[in-house]
Amino acid sequence: MILRDLLRVLGSSHRDGRNLTEDEAFRAFQMMFAGTESEIQVGAFLIALRWKGVTVEELTGFARAARERATIPCVGMAGLVCVCPPHDGLEEKPPLEVASGLIAAAAGARVMIITDRCVPPKRGLTAASVLEHLGAGLTWDPREVEEWVLRTRFGAIAAPGMIPSILGLRRVRGDVGVRTPLATVEKLIAPCTAAMVVGAQTGPVLGTAVEVIQALGHPHGIAVQGIGGGVVPTITKRSRAIELEGPHIAPLTIDPEDFGLDGVRDEELPMYMPAEDSQGTGDNPALVHDAGEITRKILAGEDGPARNAALLGSSLMLKAAGRCMTIAEGVDASINALDSGGASEVLEQLRSLT
């Protein structure tokens, strides 16, 4: 069966089509990653899925195909949490997952961020943008990121370093210009032995995300609707999340007021406006600088809404990794790790290796 046949299976409407089975979805992405299908067919397939909406079985099949083709680091590493924010980044708010990850690493978790820079369609600010400003590394080498995580408890890898063929699909994604299931799949290229913290957009996709994590065999995980669909909860209102713990799935509500970390209004976190001559915020040097400085100030001990949001993000990583039983315990451990200078020490160790 080729991609053209699967397009017929999807049909042109709900009346004359059906969802793919997990095996059909697996074979579809196998062909796409192999480069045997034309970019026109790939684009048509991705758009058809976007119109239809994807199921847990389809996303599981897609992710299985990506993992089969990828070189995945840190398999079997104890205490590892994979942090998976949106790869096309944030346009208006600073990405804080680096700050959260460094804090969580200082508090005892092993953290691997799966990210990239200037990914279409948004080409927003990502963890890669922040690490670039801080003088730390984002690697394309799975062996290198495994060494970083082993030696410093923190590392970040670009998804195409694990699966180079994803770059061809990103060209199609850029031409299509809208989010497609590829945006979810690239966040799921992780070792099945690790816990996961995955960012999810608003709407019903939250439950789908955690069910896919479960179907892929992960022992623990949290899917959260954080800032801009990312992994860091907002400090201006409650954030919705769903937690996977073994065979159990349960809703999780993160209310910053419960931990004294609430903000007053959305504008407390800086907002960015990309320059007219840039493709997006992620390729704008001034905005990369600003985002990096926000993280640097958090690590230096500056109080404020960015610090509070980063502490909440760290607490989720610690909970997913099994380092604490509750978010409150995670917040306390994160505050201690940050105020003791531990997060800054992790960054310095990482700099010495990159």
What is the predicted pLDDT for the residue at 66? Answer: 96
What is the predicted pLDDT for the residue at 121? Answer: 81
> How far apart are alpha carbons 218 and 215 in whole angstroms?
8
Domain 3-69 in this protein, CATH class: mainly alpha
> How far apart are alpha carbons 163 and 69 in whole angstroms?
7
Domain ranges, ordered by start, for the chain: 3-69, 80-353
Chain segment 180-221, per-residue pLDDT in tens: 888 889 999 999 999 999 999 888 889 999 999 999 999 999
- What one-character DSSP code corresponds to residue 339? H
> How far apart are alpha carbons 61 and 28 in whole angstroms?
9
Residue 35 confidence (pLDDT) above 60: yes
Q: Closest by alpha carbon to 316, among 249, 240, 247?
A: 240
**pLDDT exceeding 70 applies to what percent of the chain?**
95
> How far apart are alpha carbons 209 and 263 in whole angstroms?
28
Q: How many separate helices (H) and strands (E) can be counted in the chain?
A: 15, 7
Domain 80-353 in this protein, CATH class: alpha beta
Chain segment 231-283, per-residue pLDDT in tens: 999 998 899 999 999 999 999 999 999 998 876 554 567 777 666 667 788 88
Average pLDDT over residues 54-81: 96
Q: Which residue type sits at 195?
A: A
What is the predicted pLDDT for the residue at 55? Answer: 94
Neighbours of 195 (CB within 10 A): 26
Q: pTM (2 decimals)?
A: 0.94
Alpha-carbon torsion 86, 91, 92, 98, what sign?
positive
302: Cβ contacts below 8 Å, ≥ 6 apart: none
Mean of all residue pLDDT scores within the chain: 91
Q: Closest by alpha carbon to 283, among 95, 114, 128?
A: 128
